[in-house]
Structure 1
């Protein structure tokens, strides 16, 4: 029989489809941001260079510019990512509904958990101060949105009777300030994991540290002081 000339299969393209390339680029960009956030937290923003970030990723410094514009751009995206995670978590809690106090505690847990992550610690340890004024303004707007959510939940809790009457603005500052400080002292190799830290922090903030005595405690009167003649 005569051998039939079968068509050769097409050569495999060395280029991936556009969707796959976009995914790969986003994964590499996230790796740049994650590595930068970790170095910023460990060494400080000013002590970390693009060369340091490139060295950690085993790439050249010019390669970084394919994913980010500058060190300022990296910090902006790190802080923006963390604030976006917080807002997304709070939005999900609000959509799920429930009592104001339950929603408040769920949002506190989200906030506490995020400040133990690289991006969240970047918000607390570095913040927006190293950035130019226009970028600082944008990040402060995002922070104000999260602060507003806490104030609304506290006001709702007061209205429903689950929270003691207080100034929602002051209460929101105190709660967020205390939870934010976790990002300063938290260490991954410490004795408590992020969930345990969240549990204890929320319990302390909601109940306080003063011992509750069911019977009213009498304060002894001071003895009268006799005046010398």
Structure 2
């Protein structure tokens, strides 16, 4: 006798595919892993000396798998650099929106800038730069960099106007400050003696305070102080 089963008593088989939303999140996580790994290899070996095979090997995947997340090596470099510049722009934008004195804002923006160049994507901006990229990608990156430079110039101008910064050429000052902070991305090592916060603190103090020791104000002579007290 053939046993029949009522349709209502049969449960649907579990789907081996994740819901669309979860698949999209997982894909983005894997894409970020590709970019992070690529940035680290670019920083270690250089852009031209790093191949897609190297990136795939570091990630324990096949080279064809990478093409599901990125188009080519140029696109990877563009994305890595854009992530760093976006982090800078976002952080500086938040500082500007919060307000405060120009010198305090300048310090906060310098801290954000130095913090980013000590991360994988930020180091990629400094160590690899825009030169390997073809046009028009190179022009797009220059535009993003110019926006950040403009914020530094504005802060210097505001600081001079409010009296918290010495009179100077804002363009030159912005170039010097950003250039010095950028160079951190070339020599910084995660296993070094100083933490990123310590490096940022010391760099900012040196750039804004200088290295020349200034003489302490001369103590006022007792006779002058007494005379000043009588005439006040």
Give the TM-score taking structure 2 as reference length. 0.89
Query: CA deviation digits over 1:2-42, x for unaligned, max 9?
Result: xx966233222111111111111110000000000000000
Paired residues, what number? 213
Find the counterpart in structure 1 of residue 148 from structure 2. 146
- In structure 2, list runs of 5 or more residues that go unmatched: 219-232
2:139 is aligned with 1:133:
no
Alpha-carbon separation, structure 1, partners of 2:135 and 2:214: 47
2:104 is aligned with 1:85:
no
Map residues 31-50 of structure 1 onto 2, 5 A cutoff: 31-50=33-52
TM-fit CA distance, 1:215? 5.4
> The residue matched to 2:69 in structure 1 has which SS?
coil
Alpha-carbon separation, structure 2, partners of 1:208 and 1:70: 45
2:45 is aligned with 1:53:
no
Map residues 205-224 of structure 1 onto 2, 5 A cutoff: 205-214=207-216
Give the TM-score taking structure 1 as reference length. 0.90
Alpha-carbon separation, structure 2, partners of 1:94 and 1:11: 55
Find the counterpart in structure 2 of residue 119 from structure 1. 121
Alpha-carbon separation, structure 1, partners of 2:192 and 2:56: 28
Find the counterpart in structure 2 of residue 17 from structure 1. 19
Alpha-carbon separation, structure 1, partners of 2:165 and 2:195: 28
2:118 is aligned with 1:108:
no
| Structure holding more helix per residue | 2
TM-fit CA distance, 1:148? 0.3
Alpha-carbon separation, structure 2, partners of 1:211 and 1:81: 40
